[in-house]
Amino acid sequence: MVNFTIENVLIAASDDYATVDVQIVDGRIAAISPNLQVIGTAIDGKNKLLLPGFFNAHTHSSEMWQRGIMSVFPLELWLAELYDFAPLDPEQIYLGALGTAVETLLSGGTSVVDHLVLIPGLELETIAIAVRAYTEVGIRAFIAPLIQDESLTAGIPSGESAQSHEPYFRSTAATLEIIEEAVRQFHRPDEGVSILVAPTGIQLCTDALFEGCIELSDRYNLCRHSHLLETKAQEKLAQEKYGCTAVTHLKRIGFLSDVYNGLRQRTTLAHCVWLNDADIAILAETQSTVVHNPLSNLRLGSGIAPILKYRQAGINVTFGCDGASSNDSQDLLEAIKIGSILHNVTDSDYQHWITPRQAVEMASLGGAKGLNIADKLGSLTVGKQADLVLYDLTNLSLLPRTDPIGLLVLGRPTNVVDSAWVNGKQIVADGKVTTINVDQLRQELFNRSQWETKRKSETVAQMEAHYRTVMEL
């Protein structure tokens, strides 16, 4: 492992900035102070800002193949279109994970939570390929294999009609066996790859699947990840399915973080748009983390998650890009910007609004907290692992010089990531990812695709009339 010292770099210090040297020894932050001795390689930090790496705390990497082309649909119909054209080639999984990693890194992220869509029949291979891609790039990876045990149509409320659904093609037990095998083969947190249990959500999972995931999570000390109440349709569905809110039900079956056994804050919940005040109290009580995906929530018309309420309730909130088909990018700085300013229209008292410094903390420490690793990551703290990003403050998009964090969060920074390290290993230098050949990636993505206009999804054609009826459109 290469030790290094970043000299004369700007860091955030209470309400101000400080110019310091930062020593990295054996992958950890060894010292932060002005005028330190240079240990290892000297890196010039002049006119640069050093921040802890951000977490892209919810995405689906293979959606990169369908970005730009998905219809302007709400989630339920969008999902039908997505699955009709889902990539089924392992090489696409590999390239999608590489692309997700590269875009995340070049927008300040050093960790990615990939709620990974599995190719039917090639589930473990899909996970293995994603592990390979992330390991090659060197980004810290939290792979959350997306599982369900109900068919897609079950995700839409029945309303007054009697709906029947095809059984899911794979048994709940077989699905849980795949996850357990994935844990055995790939869960290596110390090497930068973790497996999460990740039922897709109440809309497509039975209690048996949730309970199996809880059992695996307890047995192997795994974090838990799920979508939660992304759409109004899911809110309706929860009432049909459980006769109570989804949050009440998830608490009852024990999926939310269990604050009593010492394993705190290990459940991250993507979206959380349609929660009521009692649900919010439950998330606070169980120390669950909300992953806010503002661009996806807007793109799919899901709604505006009540993020200011969550913060006031003391709930940990962090940001995700969500999959590139509902965003349609993996630019984490964009998600952080919109995820900050969007909420100003939901509360007229500006004293409640998210400041740029708060947004940075949500994106870094907030991500680490949700994954139960805040003691190791998420801030520039001596002793923590060196997942760091160095921003070039001489870039036109960060000029003129004002407040660097204000420019970074509220502006539209482009090409501003100069360097990034994960666990002390440099994987971005001079604005380029150094671990893989990005030009070759670009060429592969180009060669394996073609320009096309809107496609017709057969499943959407089958589902749309019922969706419109039950949603009263």
Residue choice 267, 302, 318, 457 for contact with its own copies (CB under 8 A): 302
> Are 362 and 392 spatial neighbours (Cβ–Cβ below 8 Å)?
no
* Site mask for its own copies (CB under 8 A), range 152-191, x = bound: ----------------------------------------
* Site mask for its own copies (CB under 8 A), range 423-462, x = bound: ---------------x--xx--xx-xxxxxxx--------
Task: Pick the piece of the chain touching its own copies (CB under 8 A) from 52-60, 62-70, 204-212, 234-242.
Answer: 62-70
Q: CA angle, corner 265, sides to 267 and 188, nearest 5? A: 75
Residue choice 35, 37, 161, 402 for contact with its own copies (CB under 8 A): 402
Residue choice 2, 34, 44, 68 for contact with its own copies (CB under 8 A): 68
Task: Pick the piece of the chain touching its own copies (CB under 8 A) from 54-62, 154-162, 252-260, 394-402.
Answer: 394-402
Task: Pick the piece of the chain touching its own copies (CB under 8 A) from 25-33, 198-206, 375-383, 401-409.
Answer: 401-409
Q: Which of residues 100 and 200 has its CB atom nearest to its own copies in the complex?
A: 100
**CB 211 to its own copies: min, Å:** 34
Q: Which of residues 78 and 168 has its CB atom nearest to its own copies in the complex?
A: 78
**CB 266 to its own copies: min, Å:** 30
Identity at 17, one-letter amino acid code: Y
What part of residues 229-288 is at the interface with its own copies (CB under 8 A)? 232
> Are 159 and 470 spatial neighbours (Cβ–Cβ below 8 Å)?
yes
> Are 214 and 252 spatial neighbours (Cβ–Cβ below 8 Å)?
no
Q: How many CA within 13 A on the CB side of residue 57?
A: 40
Residue choice 48, 225, 227, 299 for contact with its own copies (CB under 8 A): 299
**CB 383 to its own copies: min, Å:** 27
> Are 293 and 320 spatial neighbours (Cβ–Cβ below 8 Å)?
yes
> Are 122 and 170 spatial neighbours (Cβ–Cβ below 8 Å)?
no
What part of residues 404-423 is at the interface with its own copies (CB under 8 A)? 404, 406-408, 410-412, 414-415
398 in contact with its own copies (CB under 8 A) = yes
What stretches of 88-222 show up as alpha helix (H) in DSSP? 90-105, 123-137, 172-186, 207-220
What part of residues 98-117 is at the interface with its own copies (CB under 8 A)? 99, 102-103
Residue choice 304, 313, 429, 436 for contact with its own copies (CB under 8 A): 304
Size of the site for its own copies (CB under 8 A): 80
| Token reading at 98 | 């590489």
What part of residues 180-239 is at the interface with its own copies (CB under 8 A)? 232
Distance CA(287)–CA(81), nearest Å, equals 35
70 in contact with its own copies (CB under 8 A) = yes
**CB 208 to its own copies: min, Å:** 33
Q: In angstroms, what CA-CA distances link 44 with 49, 149, 355, 433?
A: 11, 52, 29, 18
Q: How many CA within 13 A on the CB side of residue 100?
A: 42
Longest dimension (CA), the chain: 73
Q: In angstroms, what CA-CA distances link 130 with 63, 98, 120, 371?
A: 13, 8, 15, 19
Residue choice 27, 31, 38, 67 for contact with its own copies (CB under 8 A): 67
**CB 353 to its own copies: min, Å:** 5
The alpha carbon of residue 71 and the mean position of all alpha carbons in its chain are separated, in whole angstroms, by 23
Task: Pick the piece of the chain touching its own copies (CB under 8 A) from 11-19, 23-31, 256-264, 360-368.
Answer: 11-19
Q: How does DSSP assign 410-462, residue by residue?
A: HS---S-EEEEEETTEEEEETTEE-SS-HHHHHHHHHHT---------HHHHH
Q: Is 32 helix (H, G, I), strand (E, B) or coil?
A: strand
**CB 143 to its own copies: min, Å:** 22
Task: Pick the piece of the chain touching its own copies (CB under 8 A) from 139-147, 248-256, 260-268, 387-395.
Answer: 387-395
Distance CA(466)–CA(240), nearest Å, equals 16
Q: Which of residues 223 and 441 has its CB atom nearest to its own copies in the complex?
A: 441
What part of residues 335-354 is at the interface with its own copies (CB under 8 A)? 338, 341-342, 344-345, 347-351, 353-354
Q: Which of residues 343 and 384 has its CB atom nearest to its own copies in the complex?
A: 343
Distance CA(391)–CA(317), nearest Å, equals 24
